[in-house]
Amino acid sequence: MDGANYHHLALSNENVDFQIWISDDMAPLIRKIVITYKHVEAEPQFTAIPSDWEFNRRAPDMVFNFYPPIDADEIEYLPVTRNDSGVKK
C-alpha cells in the first residue's frame, strides 16, 4: 500500500476471515482492516482505512462531570473496613 512497509496479519475462524495492516515505522498504526464474512451469500467484505489519527486532542474536563437525572436516588455505600492483618474486607 502506498509504497510503505506494513505488517500484515491474517486471522480466520469458522465465520470470518480478518486481515489487518499495521505500519512498520515509529508509530505502528492500523492502516487497513478487511473482514470477509464466509457464510454470507457472495462472501461480502467490510474494508476500513483509518486515517487522520489525532493523538494530542484533549477533551474538556467538563465532559467527565456527572449530572444525575432529577429523579435519581443516591445509594448508600458500605464503609471499607480492614481485618486485623490490614486486608480490606
In a domain, 31, yes or no: yes
In a domain, 33, yes or no: yes
C-alpha 40/C-alpha 43 separation (Å) is 5
- What is the pLDDT, as a whole number, of residue 89? 56
In a domain, 37, yes or no: yes
pLDDT tens-place string over residues 3-45 = 889 999 999 999 999 999 999 988 899 999 999 999 999 989 9
Q: How many domains does the chain have?
A: 1
pTM: 0.59
C-alpha 4/C-alpha 44 separation (Å) is 27
One DSSP character per residue, 31-68 reads EEEEEEETTSTT--EEEE-------S----GGGG----
